Amino acid sequence: MPSSSLQIRTPIALRGALIAAWLLALAAPALAAHSSPHAAKRASAGSTSSRYPAGVSRPRLHGGSAPLAHSAAAAKKPAAKKPKKPVLTGNPARALLAFEAMQRYYYVRGSGLYEGEPFSYLWPFSQALAATVSMANVPRLPVSISPEVHARLIGLRTYLDLNNSGALEGYTSTLAAFDGTVAPPVGPGGAKYYDDNDWVGIELARVYKKTHNAGALGYAEGIMAFEIAGYSTDPTLACAGGIPFANTVANTDRNTITTGPAAELAVQLFQITDNTEYLHFAETAYNWVRNCLLQPNQLYADHIRPHGVVDSTFWSYNQGVMIGAGTLLYQATGNSGYLYQARQTAQAAREYFTPQRLGEENPFFPSVYFRNLLYLDSVTHDPPGPKIAQAYVDYAWQHLRLSDNLFVAGSPASAQLLYQAAVVQIYALLSSPPSTYF
């Protein structure tokens, strides 16, 4: 189907089901090394100074968990004999050490949130959520990660915005979703980024798969409604279709990294709910990216502008989400064409993204790339991905790790929540079954 004819509209029945699921979730118990497109666009969206209300330090205490092994209550308990816990080695041990450091140095105890201005943007929070869910899927850990998952879901609700003011305030969507910063009254709220909501939705679907938490599924379906509504239907745009970077009126670029993971989330929800509308959207979104952003070298460009100019910068995470979307669509439909396309891109990406190029990217990008490459490899039984991912984190462990198990990246080198969460994820993915990745 030509990309210009792609028109996505949420049927009334599906819209009603999504709204019902969303309301169910609300009523349920608490559930770069170098400049990047994310960093540049977020910097241009507002002042570099904090936009939080004056005097804000943290929200009301919600109860959430304290960092692992650092709970004040645990510190007061007298020493007692406990059964011997399994001794971790290798990737699981390193994953746990990196995760504990993430919690120790970035988590704001009692809030469910992570440090920032004073709280992190949704982007790094989404990756801390992904790291936590990935850790929960690592077998035989000596500690329970379930309380941490619960705390992430509590923190996530702080970003939830049930409404934007609409066109007069510069927003194209008033659907409920998660703001790029903590929502009012605790934070300034503002634009909703489609890719960040994709990351959150993918993790919520994983949470549901593991726990059958109806609230997590409701949130994920609410995000899917936001993504579907955000899919462009403006026929005046070059290569009509695709999902923009944010729900701001000024944003008319459509991106691989917004549309590809939306396809992944849609397949996840189709697998959970058997709702064919999700599968239809996944195929439409996936085909739009292929029609509009696939380059002759079988790699995906970053975005297309309103008049058809394509930014052909290649980032590893763009290849990753399309590798993953193709693999998931193959599993959902049995159409081997999707798997062939995923393998084509994987081969091209392995040739292009040398260790040097991967090392020049924000670690978040390779973490997305590796997850999807490893997932493809688990289906094709052709395992170059684990070797590449292993080499990446082994180098980080030896050369980019501080004495307190924080990881640095960038120039000048710095430690950040986003970097730490990326390393945790890669180690956790290498330690867990690929069937848990989506």
Pairing state between β 408-409 and 414-415: antiparallel
Contact assessment for residue 153 and residue 207, using Cβ atoms and an 8 Å cutoff? yes
In this predicted structure, what is the pLDDT of residue 111?
92
The larger pLDDT score, comparing residue 65 to residue 300, is at: 300
> Does residue 10 surpass a pLDDT of 50?
no
Helix residue spans in 158-275 (DSSP H)? 194-211, 214-230, 256-273
- Residues 329-379: tens digit of each pLDDT: 999 999 999 999 999 999 999 999 999 999 999 999 999 999 999 999 999
* Residue 260 vs residue 64, higher pLDDT: 260
Kindly tell me the sign of the dihedral angle through the C-alpha atoms of 146, 150, 152, 156: positive
Say what percent of the chain tops pLDDT 70. Answer: 80
pLDDT, residue 86, reads 63
Partnered with residue 255 across adjacent β-strands are 303
Residue positions counted in the chain: 438
Q: What is the mean pLDDT of residues 209-228?
A: 98
**What amino acid occupies position 250?**
A
Q: What is the DSSP code string of 330-392?
A: HHHH--HHHHHHHHHHHHHHHHH--HHHHHHS-THHHHHHHHHHHHHHHHHT--HHHHHHHHH
Break the chain down into helix, strand, coil percent, rounded to 5. 55, 5, 40
Query: What pLDDT is recorded for position 79?
Result: 52
Does the structure show a pLDDT above 60 at 43?
no
d(CA 340, CA 391): 26
Above 80 in pLDDT, residue 255? yes
CB-hemisphere CA count at 13 Å for 332? 29
What is the per-residue pLDDT for 72? 34
Q: What is the pLDDT of residues 116-170, one digit of tens each?
A: 989 999 999 999 999 999 999 999 999 999 999 999 999 999 999 998 887 778 9
Nearest to 201 by CA among 130, 307, 299, 252: 130
Say if residues 58 and 118 touch (Cβ distance below 8 Å): yes
* C-alpha span between 158 and 126 (Å, rounded): 12
64 pLDDT above the threshold of 90: no
Q: List, for residues 297-332, the tens digit of each pLDDT value.
A: 999 999 999 999 999 999 999 999 999 999 999 999
Residue-level pLDDT at 27: 35
* pLDDT, mean over the chain: 86
Task: Using the predicted structure, report yes or no on whether residue 35 has a pLDDT greater than 70.
Answer: no
Distances (CA, A) of 238 to 19, 37, 256, 304: 32, 21, 15, 8
> Do the Cβ atoms of 330 and 263 come closer than 8 Å?
no
> Which pLDDT score is estimated for 84?
61
Backbone angles phi, psi at 161, to 5 degrees: -120, 120
Whether the pLDDT of residue 63 is over 50: the answer is: no
Q: In the chain, what percentage of residues exceed pLDDT 90?
A: 76
As given in the structure block, the two tokens for residue 201 are: 């939705």
Task: Indicate if the pLDDT at residue 55 is higher than 70.
Answer: no
pLDDT at 166: 75
Q: What is the pLDDT of residue 80?
A: 56
pLDDT at 416 over 70: yes
Is the pLDDT confidence value at 32 over 90?
A: no
Tokens standing for residue 221: 């379906």
Q: How confident is the model at residue 382 (pLDDT cuts 50, 70, 90)?
A: confident
- The angle at the Cα of 274, spanning 261 to 173, to the nearest 5 degrees, equals 45
